[in-house]
Amino acid sequence: MRFAVLEFPGSNCDHDCVHTLGTVLRQKVDLVWHENAALPSRTDCVVVPGGFSYGDYLRCGAVARFSPVMKAVFAHARRGGLVWGICNGFQILAESHLVPGALLRNKDLRFLCRDVYLRVERGDSAFTHAVKPGRVLRLPIAHGEGNYFCEPDTLKRLLDGRQVAFRYCDVDGHLTPESNPNGSLESIAGVLNEAGNVLGMMPHPERASEAELGGTDGLALFESALHALTTR
């Protein structure tokens, strides 16, 4: 399988994703500069990584959505290809309307950098089918604008369409105000598009994919995407 990891001015998790995909999972992976108008041939999955694209000017992801490479990402998604936005990548996908909703400033207006617990809401998506619904993952977050919000009608469509992929929770999987780090609506930490081939999530699975980094819970999500591609 072939993965493409995008690189914007200010990206800082691009090489982490390349390492996980290329070194840990031994897959073909290309680092794609944002000014490229096309993705490498036979790209199966596009990863939009974390960081501070364009310095987070205007709004996080608001400038990056206009980068030339995003037209190719739109086309890839329309063809049914997988697109995975992580942290700033989630913000870029939301600004691009590839996933619904918006990411606002954290409820306490502070940048958060710590581990959180995440409950898997769907175990049948391309990004989660290697984990059972209800499983609790421990993954790190690092963001100042991770407060997920959407309008009531959008929320209804998300819930009716089973588009909520992850929710913040406590170690036992319970949704509590204390376990919601940034004030996200209904503790939402990740959402899918209607077709299920585009995922945006705030926590960083690439930072929890090796025991040397303190945990391997994130690796299950990468393995899910890989398995989904190999069984198509």
Per residue in 66-109, pLDDT (tens digit) is 999 999 999 999 999 999 999 999 999 999 999 999 999 999 99
Segment 50-71 shows an average pLDDT of 94
d(CA 217, CA 180): 19
- Does pLDDT of 57 surpass 90? no
- In the structure, how many helices (H) and strands (E) does the chain have? 5, 11
pLDDT band at residue 140 under the 50/70/90 scheme:
very high
Pairing of strands 28-33, 2-7: parallel
Asked if residue 232 has pLDDT above 80, the reply is: no
Identify whether the C-beta of residue 7 lies closer than 8 Å to the C-beta of residue 36.
no
Predicted pLDDT at 35:
97
pLDDT given for residue 69 in this prediction: 98
What gap in Å lies between CA 18 and CA 26, rounded to an integer?
10
Q: How many whole angstroms separate alpha carbon 113 and alpha carbon 149?
A: 20
pLDDT at residue 175, as a whole number: 98
Q: According to DSSP H, which parts of the chain are helical?
A: 14-19, 69-78, 88-95, 152-160, 219-230
Residue 231 — pLDDT band, cuts 50, 70, 90?
confident
Binning the chain into helix, strand and coil, the percentages to the nearest 5 are 30, 25, 45
* Mean pLDDT over the full length of the chain: 97
Beta strands at 82-86 and 136-143: parallel, antiparallel or unpaired:
unpaired
Catalytic pick from 95, 121, 145, 206? 206
| Gap between the Cα atoms of 109 and 107, Å rounded | 6
What are the residue ranges spanned by the domains of the chain? Answer: 2-230
Give domain 2-230's CATH architecture.
3-Layer(aba) Sandwich (3.40)
pLDDT in tens, 167-223: 999 999 999 999 999 999 999 999 999 999 999 999 999 999 999 989 999 999 999
Query: Is 206 noted as a catalytic residue in this protein?
Result: yes
Q: Report the DSSP beta bridge partners of residue 191.
A: 164, 200
Average pLDDT of the segment spanning 3-29: 97
Catalytic, out of 76, 129, 143, 204: 204
Write down how long the chain is: 232
**What integer is the mean pLDDT of 150-165?**
98
Residue reference for tokens 């996080």: 60
* Catalytic hit among 17, 45, 87, 150: 87
pTM score above 0.95: yes
Share of residues in the chain with pLDDT > 90 (%): 95
Residue 170's contacts (CB-CB under 8 Å, 6 or more residues apart) are: 117, 176, 178, 179
Q: Residue 36: enclosing H or E segment and its boundaries?
A: none
